[in-house]
């Protein structure tokens, strides 16, 4: 959920920075034409727009990311480790079985059968087979299996959480491309208007109806518009690169994105109920389910730790034989088969271990397990509280975004009409260049505001779908 807050802040910052860059260039027009020429030549070779071939949808971008992203693969490997831990804990219930072979040879002065020390050479070979099984160990092994099952589910849920975070990042990057495309188109339209005005001012100057100051103002506005196109094209190229890296495809991949239809969801915003969204998210949102699984695992972890306080009862058995040979023995040595048969030994026993004092290690383990349980319970409740806050905030942001989109659209239409009137009057000399420049700036700002509002509304609506667990489509 913290990823969502960071992404929301990031996209807002990107909108604000883009607006500031656009408006700042209105006041700075020196050496802009030279910058535009070099930047345009550079972007011709890099911009995805020049060679766009594949058009991908938001779902295709999500699918590519979830298939290729290494974070998902890393989480899936963690799942495999949890699965292996579960298998091992189940096998721990089975009896152990071990075999061994021991071979020794010694020589020198040793006490013989007669009791006297003499030089001897002896050879000994023994084999054994042993087995043991726990009859009772405080149910630690059984509880460990239960805990490992939950930890495996938690590992799978963590993969879902990673995927969810990546989906939100894809949505943000995808919308940033759409925003930058519209921003570039607006800048190109303004450049077209500025060039037309510059040509007109040059003709009027040649006819003696305008001054050099009017022509300089038109050149400044054209240079500013050219730089805005350059900056917008560069921002678009970077946003394409960002999404490509997120999808983990080659950075040189050429693609385009499918445009959304904003009006398709603006009429459904009023029916969004934050409490209903929260209740649904409690049962589907991976962050909450992961927190609940961690709590469940911690509860069983306490039972596993308590098992260390109980006595341990185990059953063991053994089966073995040996062979002995002495080179200096007065008595004849039996053959290998004879000794293996005659020296055969069997055994069975029960072992009881009662923990009395071991540095309070077992009790300390129980205490740590209980503290860990309290931590996971707190984290689960904190996750629920954060989810409730974010959902209520997301619904409020969505309604505000709808209102802002409607108001900025109305403001843009009004500024557009006002600019048209000022432009016509400026062409015939009824308005000075300062008033015309101000009207153009106001129109540009209004257009940027409506572009930002449109994609902010789209982003807020998709955030609601994200919490509802719906497929993200445009």
The Cα–Cα gap between 72 and 83 comes to 17
Domain membership of residue 118 (yes or no) is yes
Domain span at residue 435?
Answer: 2-468
Q: Which pairs from 214-220 meet CB under 8 Å and 24+ separation? A: 214/433, 217/433, 217/437, 218/194, 218/433, 220/29
Structural domain count, the chain: 1
The Cα–Cα gap between 143 and 300 comes to 6
From residue 261, how far is each of 114, 205, 352, 401 by CA, in Å?
Answer: 106, 46, 74, 16
The tens place of each residue's pLDDT in the chain, 474 residues long, gives 544 455 455 545 544 444 444 444 434 433 333 333 333 333 333 344 444 468 898 889 999 999 999 999 999 999 999 999 999 999 999 999 999 999 988 877 766 656 666 777 788 899 999 999 999 999 999 999 999 999 999 999 999 999 999 998 998 899 899 889 988 988 888 888 888 888 887 887 888 777 788 788 888 889 988 999 999 999 999 999 999 999 999 988 889 998 876 555 455 455 678 999 999 999 889 999 999 999 999 999 999 999 999 999 999 999 999 998 877 655 667 788 888 888 999 999 999 999 888 888 899 999 999 999 999 999 999 999 999 999 999 999 998 998 999 999 999 999 999 999 998 888 777 887 778 878 888 888 898 899 889 888 888 888 888 888 777 776
* Closest among 468, 453, 345, 449 to 395, alpha carbons compared: 468
Domain membership of residue 141 (yes or no) is yes
The Cα–Cα gap between 199 and 71 comes to 55
Domain membership of residue 377 (yes or no) is yes
Domain membership of residue 105 (yes or no) is yes
**CATH code where residue 22 lies:** 1.20.1600.10
Q: Which residue has the tokens 């996971």?
A: 376
Domain membership of residue 473 (yes or no) is no
Domain membership of residue 474 (yes or no) is no
Q: Is 344 helix (H, G, I), strand (E, B) or coil?
A: coil
pTM: predicted TM-score of the whole model, two decimal places: 0.75
From residue 125, how far is each of 98, 129, 363 by CA, in Å?
Answer: 17, 14, 45
Domain membership of residue 131 (yes or no) is yes
């Amino acid at each position: 959920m913290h990823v969502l807050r960071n992404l929301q802040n990031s996209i807002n910052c990107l909108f604000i920075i883009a607006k500031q860059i656009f408006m700042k260039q209105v006041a700075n027009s020196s050496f802009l034409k030279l910058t535009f020429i070099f930047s345009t030549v550079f972007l011709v070779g890099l911009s995805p727009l020049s060679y766009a071939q594949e058009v991908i949808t938001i779902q295709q971008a999500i699918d590519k990311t979830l298939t290729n992203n290494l974070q998902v693969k890393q989480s899936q490997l963690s799942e495999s480790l949890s699965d292996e831990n579960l298998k091992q804990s189940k096998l721990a219930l089975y009896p152990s079985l071990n075999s061994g072979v021991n071979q020794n040879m010694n020589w020198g002065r040793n006490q013989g059968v007669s009791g006297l020390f003499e030089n001897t050479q002896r050879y000994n070979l023994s084999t054994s087979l042993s087995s043991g099984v726990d009859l009772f160990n405080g149910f630690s092994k059984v509880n460990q299996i239960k805990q490992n099952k939950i930890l495996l589910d938690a590992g799978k849920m963590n993969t879902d959480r990673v995927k969810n975070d990546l989906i939100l990042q894809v949505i943000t990057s995808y919308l940033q491309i759409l925003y930058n495309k519209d921003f570039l188109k607006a800048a190109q339209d303004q450049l077209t208007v500025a060039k037309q005005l510059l040509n007109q001012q040059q003709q009027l100057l040649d006819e003696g109806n305008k001054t050099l100051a009017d022509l300089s103002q038109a050149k400044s506005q054209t240079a500013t518009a050219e730089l805005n196109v350059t900056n917008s094209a560069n921002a678009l190229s970077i946003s394409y690169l960002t999404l490509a890296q997120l999808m983990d495809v080659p950075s040189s991949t050429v693609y385009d994105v499918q445009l959304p239809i904003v009006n398709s969801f603006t009429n459904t915003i009023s029916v969004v109920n934050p409490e209903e969204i929260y209740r649904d998210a409690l049962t589907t949102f991976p962050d909450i389910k992961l927190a609940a699984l961690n709590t469940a695992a911690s509860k069983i972890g306490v039972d596993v730790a308590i098992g260390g306080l109980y006595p341990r009862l185990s059953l063991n058995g053994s089966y073995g034989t040996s062979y002995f040979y002495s080179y200096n023995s007065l008595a004849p040595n039996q053959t290998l088969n004879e000794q293996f048969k005659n020296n055969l030994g069997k055994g069975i026993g029960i072992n009881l271990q009662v923990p009395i004092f071991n540095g309070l290690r077992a009790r300390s383990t129980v205490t740590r397990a209980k503290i860990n349980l309290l931590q996971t319970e707190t984290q689960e409740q904190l996750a629920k509280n954060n989810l409730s806050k974010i959902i209520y905030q997301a619904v409020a942001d969505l309604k505000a975004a709808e209102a802002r989109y409607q108001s900025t659209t109305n403001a843009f239409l009004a500024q557009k009409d006002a600019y048209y009137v000022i432009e016509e009057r400026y062409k015939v000399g009824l308005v000075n260049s300062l008033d015309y420049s101000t009207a153009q700036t106001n129109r540009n700002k209004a257009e940027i505001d409506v572009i930002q509002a449109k994609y902010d509304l789209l982003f807020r609506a998709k955030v609601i779908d994200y919490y509802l667990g719906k497929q993200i489509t445009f």
